[in-house]
Structure 1
Amino acid sequence: MLEDDAAHLLNALDALGVPGPVTFVGHSFGAVVAEAAARMTPERAAALVLLDGSLAEDGSAEPETPRSGRRARLLVAALRSRPAVAAWRVCGPTILTLTVPARRSLARSVPGLRDEMASISVLETCLHELSAYSSCVRQLHALRTTSPLTPQLPTLVVAANGRLQRRTPTRWVRAVLRQAREIAADADVRKAVLERSGHFVMLDRPQRMADLILTLGSR
């Protein structure tokens, strides 16, 4: 459930003694969670930053069904067997970096990340996200209808246009910018398209990202 994921974020702030208001920052699927947290607790949101967010075009995605949920739980249980855990420890990091090539630079940049990828909990988390993604998207669109952001909340929507220089925005960028227009109904949205940047914008363009976030916070 998306609200559960957002609650984990809010609980972490509580545990750290950070009551807010804060700048919620989310990357990829984390953008969905960050926006949900800002909508659930608008009084705690000073600003919102969505970095190349994995947002669907509309709320038409089908929610997770009891049957699909059972399949996911059975798969996770099977993956906890000794043979599966041993195989994942050997092959897991390679599989994760091959399926998303941008993770290669991430693994090189973050010490210990490859060891973390070898954990079966990482695979379980990935499967959980994939199985529940469409349901979470549907819940986010419901929140947009029922839980508005703080009026004129400073919001930054960032889209990565790929590592190769392009003359026109990619289809992905156009989809992200359409989402920005939807969010602009109840927020003060600023959009940024990063050229020569892959999905991990905070690694490919760290200084540019820092400047954008600092500028947003000063508005």
Structure 2
Amino acid sequence: MNVKFKEILINELEEEIKAAKLIDPQELAKQIKEIGFKCIMCGKCCRREFGDNRVVVIPDEIHRIQNNSDLEWNDIAEPLNIEADTPEEECYLQAGSGMIDEYGNIHTFGWMLHRKENRDCSFIPDEVKNNRCNIYELRPLLCSTYPFYMEDLKLQTSECEGLGENISEHDSKKLSEMLINRYLGELQDTILTYRNYEGFETDEKSREKAMSNLKQGYLNYVVHNSEGTCKITKNI
């Protein structure tokens, strides 16, 4: 990513922030109420069996969980990676998108909530009949506002069985405010990530080096995020 292109992206995001600050929370709450929603505690958004359950989380949210629990960073978050069925497939996909450097490190932008070996969220119990989040009061805004999200200044929804259920005016207003805060926070975090990003070199043996690491039981990740660059070794 050259400097000029990076500045173009940052300028576009700054303009989007200006526009996002003008979103009327009451109008947004009205849209939410018209759609309707009630969490039915099915746990499907937390379990990999039912689809992509990656939860993008920004450093501020990770710190908040850290500061209010006994959990360490690595217990809470891991590098945001491509959703692949196996580590070998991940290496193949990452290499194809040019995200493995000349040393075999996989580069990624940002973090996601840590997942178990079966790729369920780490904070949902193994017992499938119990879908209560273990960090419910500290959960990230993506979880608090699911299945709603903002994209290009418009309200969007993800697939969820609770959509269409009745929601009170109070809850729709609360959800509206959280959605706007989440939207602004994610945009600001992305700008800082771009500002910190310095790029990396690849070569024709990038995937081969990553696969060599994998055969030894680990993968190295370089996470570009709003707080800088962080190298993580993940045992496979």
Q: TM-score, normalised by structure 1?
A: 0.27
Query: Between Structure 1 and Structure 2, whose CA radius of gyration is higher?
Result: 2
Q: TM-score, normalised by structure 2?
A: 0.26
- Structure ranking higher in helix proportion: 1
